[in-house]
Amino acid sequence: MQTLVAPSALETRLRQVEKLIGNTPLVSLDRVYQNPKVKILAKLEWQQLGGSVKARPAFNIIKQAILNGELDKNKTLLDASSGNTGIAYGAVGAALGIKVALCLPENASKERKMILRSHGVEIIYTPATELTDGAQIRAKALHAENPGKYYYADQYANENNWKAHYERTSQEIYYQTNGRITHFVAGLGTSGTFMGTSRGLKEINPNIEVISFQPDSPMHGLEGWKHMETAIVPKFYDPTLADKNLEVSTFDAYDMVKEVAQKEGLLISPSAAANLVGAMQVADTLEEGVVVTVFADSADKYSEVLNNIFDN
């Protein structure tokens, strides 16, 4: 006879927190893009715990680490981030009683720093000029120095990053569009959103085209995005998955932030606006279709950028 083992208090809490992850709304952007035969839809990913798309991988990474016995209340989760994943780690960690330490570029916005501190995250600043690559190098060194203290989450190589989108984001998008999606587009950072969602959608319908975007210059202003030719490439990134890989201008994204605010009533981040710029590039090539993208977060954490955008 099989003996049933009761879940631990931490596992029970995991199930409760999981209800706050995902299931974000999908909205039509029919004022900034008007074409009766081509629709552009976007997932409002800030409407979940942690306030961004990174809630999905952060929770999945923490969940699997706990279930595998790699992380508990006696260890500190350590990772590198430009901000959103760190905030998601902080929110989930606070809800579960898990300590979090984060290597963060020192030029991260004041809102991000404040939110991280509010969640009790230990912040280890790295040089702004080194971007998230420098933060990754520092996090790896810290873990090597004290592996007993830290669980190194390594979002850029952790398979549970993209699997969060493979298992849930792709399914949500497919069913929210009633299977009508023809194209999925997203920018590349860790690449988890694009990799996981694209793989999931391709399994459901191989005819869905998946198109990735990256900044058009190594020196760009799209926080969280990577210019793959000049950055440390995430371990699980597969350049052959995309049907096309295109580029987006930071300046076009900034202009789009303003246009979406004034026409759709949504204050979105520059990276979300860049996704929309990319979606419109794709939509302009179609006679008909349903193009879906992801708005990673809102503009709440970008006051310095917004001041520049709306003062001009």
pLDDT means per 10 residues in the chain (312 residues)? 63 93 97 97 97 97 96 95 92 97 92 94 94 92 96 96 98 98 96 97 98 89 83 92 96 95 95 97 98 95 80 70
Per-residue pLDDT, 83: 80
Give the pTM.
0.92
The dihedral through the CA atoms of 273, 277, 282, 286 has a sign that is positive
CA 239 – CA 242 distance, rounded (Å): 6
Angle at 13 between CA 171 and CA 136, to 5 degrees: 70
Per-residue pLDDT, 124: 97
Tokens representing 69 are 């016995």
Per-residue pLDDT, 281: 97
The single residue listed with the structure tokens 């901000």 is 83
Architecture of the domain defined by 55-152: 3-Layer(aba) Sandwich (3.40)
Question: 9-48+162-311 domain in CATH 3.40.50.1100?
Answer: yes
Residues 6+ apart with CB under 8 A from 21: 48, 49, 55, 56, 59
Number of helices and strands (H, E) in the chain? Answer: 11, 10
CA 291 – CA 184 distance, rounded (Å): 6
CA 172 to chain CA mean position, Å: 16
Per-residue pLDDT, 312: 64
Per-residue pLDDT, 248: 95
Burial 220-243 (b: 16+ CB within 10 A, else e): bbbbbbbbbeebeebebbeeeebe
Per-residue pLDDT, 5: 46
DSSP reduced 3-state for 74: coil
> Residues spanned by CATH 3.40.50.1100 within the chain?
9-48+162-311, 55-152
Per-residue pLDDT, 2: 54
CA 149 – CA 106 distance, rounded (Å): 24
Of 116, 141, 113, the closest CA to residue 128 belongs to 113
